[in-house]
Structure 1
Amino acid sequence: MSSPSAVPLGRLQPQKRDAITRAARRVFGRDGYARASIDAIATEAGVSTRTIYKHFSGKEQLFASVLEASATQVADTLVESAAAVPYAETADQVLTELAGVAHALVRQAIDHPEHFAMVRQIVAESTHFPAPVLAAWQEAGPLRVEAEVAGRLRRLADRGLLVVPDLERATLHFMALATAEASPRGLRPVGHLSAEETQIAVTEGVRAFLNGYSS
């Protein structure tokens, strides 16, 4: 596969753009990249294949555009939700702050299941994608989410409320522990837990993180 230069979805008529975007997310998430076809996406979207090819050179370019747009939307949601979580000013408020951030992470999977179905397919088929496509996805979504979490941890460390010798590693530890039970890849996948079970799972994950990073 050659690296595509994605055509902005905004150039399409809004209704067709939305239909193609939703259909592509569903088909790529359900079938994976290798098995997905433009015909299947067109059928799902209720448009002709000609309409899709009018705006995209092929499946790779459509995938790149939809993935980047979807990742941006999911990251925007996380950043907005995390911004509403109050900052801790004392040690006894740290758990509350980080649990709030962790819940925002878990909400991503609950609110955007089709996007994370695509992500699972990317993990399974990573060798099929050129580096620029994966890099654009990382920059639009995962790296922004990690930066948001890292900013929270850095602030707590700067105030002496956490001990963080390696910020990047601490960020990865936090995201792994906070979502270990309530995540698409967990033993009890998100959506299968009640609200109370999710609350407990996330809070206990944050407690596990704090066992290693509390000041």
Structure 2
Amino acid sequence: MCKPQLHYHRTMSTTRTTPRQPAAARRRARELEILTATRELFDETGVRDAQIEDIARAVGVNRAIIYRHFSGKEELFALTLVSYLEDLETELAGAAAARTTPPEQLVAVVEAFVDFGVAHPAFVDCAQTLMRRPGPELLEEISESALFRLGRGIAACLARLRDVLVAGNEAGDFRVEDPRLLANHMYASGLGALQLARVGMLVGESSPGVPEIAPVSADEVRRNVVATARALAAGA
């Protein structure tokens, strides 16, 4: 009778030494898996065509699991945008570090922003979708923690541009009254320019009252965004 009992305790002891992944770690791993699948789906099919069912299928779960980790589609979009913003911030930092003077850094940072948007159209879609929503409305659909992560991601990217503008002011190259405001303006207007690059068309008039469509390339849009940024930084 004694030996089986000892064997039983020895078996239980062996079982208990096998570490289990903490619940919080498992939850973070599943959230990352969902966000990775969402971004891959966005890059493949675009934001507008992406459905919760498609994301769940890619992860191998049902849609109820998605809603267990995220408050809804808006929050899922917001946190996917955070992923793009983290990559964008890395690109902007590298672009600025590769140049020495503020004017050169400004050009490099703006070009990196445009190139990133052209390479990742879903980033533009995500950013514009969320920017169209008033702040109080977003708070109703996105948790405070998700909104904090989104704000931190945007702020990190804007800081790269703001720091260049501040350095240019100090060096006498720029005349920017409010670097933070101008950085935000450049980000918002840059997203609009990226949409123009995607459409690839300009609207004008061939004669008064007669509309005309003309093509525009991503390179042309890129040059225009850079020229506008330089003029704004110079106080023009």
Identity of aligned residues (%): 21
Aligned mate of 1:49, from 62, 80, 85? 62
Structure 1 counterpart of 2:101: 88
Distance in 1 (CA, whole Å) between partners of 2:100 and 2:179 is: 18
Instruction: Please tell me whether Structure 1 or Structure 2 has the larger radius of gyration of its CA atoms.
Output: 2
Paired residues for 1:29-40 under 5 Å: 29-30=47-48, 38-40=52-54
Q: How many residues align?
A: 192
Quick one: which amino acid aligns to residue 60 of structure 2?
V
Distance in 2 (CA, whole Å) between partners of 1:111 and 1:66 is: 16
Residue 154 of structure 1: CA displacement?
Answer: 1.0
Higher relative contact order (CA 8 A, sep 6+): 1
Residue 176 of structure 1: CA displacement?
Answer: 5.6
Structure 2 counterpart of 1:101: 109
Distance in 1 (CA, whole Å) between partners of 2:168 and 2:111 is: 18
Structure 2 counterpart of 1:110: 118
TM-score (norm 1): 0.66
What residue ranges of structure 1 are gaps of 5+ in the alignment? 1-5
Distance in 1 (CA, whole Å) between partners of 2:38 and 2:28 is: 12
Paired residues for 1:184-199 under 5 Å: 184=195, 188-190=196-198, 192=200, 193-194=216-217, 196-199=219-222
Match of 1:183, SS state, is helix
Structure 2 counterpart of 1:78: 92
Q: Structure 1 residues 45-54 or 75-84, which shifts more?
A: 45-54
CA RMSD, Structure 1 to Structure 2 (Å): 3.9
Quick one: which amino acid aligns to residue 66 of structure 1?
T
Query: Does the 8 Å contact 2:88/2:113 carry over to 1?
Result: no
Query: Does the 8 Å contact 1:23/1:41 carry over to 2?
Result: yes
Match of 1:168, SS state, is helix
What residue ranges of structure 2 are gaps of 5+ in the alignment? 1-23, 201-215
More strand by share: 2
Query: Does the 8 Å contact 2:41/2:55 carry over to 1?
Result: yes
Distance in 2 (CA, whole Å) between partners of 1:174 and 1:62 is: 26
Residue 209 of structure 1: CA displacement?
Answer: 1.2
Match of 2:175, SS state, is coil
Structure 1 counterpart of 2:156: 144
Quick one: which amino acid aligns to residue 159 of structure 2?
A
